[in-house]
């Protein structure tokens, strides 16, 4: 299958390209600059010069593809929607896989699935309008699929690193918001790559949460990272206000209490997470 992919030189993109190429797919990947082009080329994909704002480039590349996977992070909702529209116009009846996240559900009050109501913190609330428009294409012959990913770990995870490198780590402790009893819906990067490959065969209009099925507390994660950093399990509680000062609005997402099951993806796509011990991975650094 010929696949066009955005965000190929990023954290998720590199792993996904590697998986797709290994499975025998022909991948063309958007590259904003020569450095990004070199990265995707080294992974076995063909680089295409351009950015998310180059709508004609996106549409033409999607028209050459059997399926599109959109991984690149947009600067805003309107930019993401414009890019998604261009790619869906281009790929036509081919599969279009759009990336979202479980943070849009807010606190879950126990284990939840894709049917949970939206209660998004402000920094991701814009996703609803985009995803609604993407999924609406299923009514007109399109094949949209939305993956709402959990908090990723494994490999070069810069997002979770950003949380644990807020001031405090330098003092020999790992920060934790509040008492840290809120749970995180984690998923390993290698499992996510397999999920994107599996989603190519999903039914139009499908939505899946991409989670590993293990939802440790933020405190447990902090303790594991503290051991990996050589801090002997030392952690320090910070308030949400302090976290916002240090991280910005994304702190609200890290303070969410979320638990999710991957049962729908397991049943419909045959995707089963292989990595089910995130604390051990975090403890190894």
Contact 23, 2 (CB under 8 A): no
Give the pLDDT confidence score for residue 166 in this predicted structure.
53
Burial class (CB in 10 A: 0-12, 13-18, 19+), 267: exposed
Max Cα-Cα span within the chain: 57
Low-confidence ranges of the chain (pLDDT < 50): 168-169
Give the pLDDT confidence score for residue 285 in this predicted structure.
75
Give the pLDDT confidence score for residue 158 in this predicted structure.
59
Domains, in order of start, for the chain: 2-153+186-213+260-274 (3.40.50.720), 158-183+216-254 (no CATH)
Query: 237 pairs with which residues across the strands?
Result: 176
Nearest-Å Rg of the Cα atoms of the chain is 19
**Closest-CA residue to 254 (of 281, 224, 284, 217):** 217
Give the pLDDT confidence score for residue 185 in this predicted structure.
97
Cα–Cα distance measured from residue 81 to residue 150, given in angstroms and rounded to the nearest whole number: 21
Give the pLDDT confidence score for residue 274 in this predicted structure.
97
Contact 100, 148 (CB under 8 A): yes
């Amino acid at each position: 299958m010929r696949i066009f992919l955005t965000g190929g030189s990023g954290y998720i993109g590199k792993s996904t390209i590697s998986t797709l190429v290994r499975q025998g797919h022909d991948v063309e990947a958007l590259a904003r600059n020569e450095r990004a082009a070199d990265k995707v080329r080294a992974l076995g994909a063909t680089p295409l010069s351009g950015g998310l704002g180059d709508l004609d480039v996106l549409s033409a590349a999607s028209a050459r593809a059997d399926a599109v996977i959109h991984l690149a992070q947009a600067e805003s909702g309107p930019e993401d929607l414009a890019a998604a529209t261009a790619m869906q116009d281009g790929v036509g009846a081919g599969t279009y896989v759009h990336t979202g996240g479980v943070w849009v559900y807010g606190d879950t009050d126990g284990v939840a699935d894709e049917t949970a109501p939206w209660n998004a913190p402000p920094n991701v609330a814009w996703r609803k309008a985009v995803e609604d428009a993407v999924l609406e294409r299923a009514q007109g012959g399109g094949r949209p699929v939305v993956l709402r990913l959990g908090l990723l770990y494994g490999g070069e995870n810069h997002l979770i690193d950003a949380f644990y490198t807020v001031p405090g780590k330098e003092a020999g402790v790992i920060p934790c918001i509040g008492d840290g009893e809120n749970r995180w819906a984690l998923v390993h990067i290698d499992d996510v790559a397999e999920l994107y490959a599996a989603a190519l065969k999903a039914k139009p209009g499908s939505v899946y949460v991409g989670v590993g099925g293990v939802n440790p507390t933020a405190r447990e994660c902090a303790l594991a990272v503290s051991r990996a950093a050589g801090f002997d399990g030392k952690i320090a509680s910070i308030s949400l206000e302090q976290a916002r000062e240090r991280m910005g609005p994304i702190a609200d997402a890290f303070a969410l209490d979320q638990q999710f099951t991957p049962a729908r993806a397991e049943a419909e796509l045959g995707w089963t997470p292989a990595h089910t011990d995130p604390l051990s991975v975090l403890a190894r650094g």
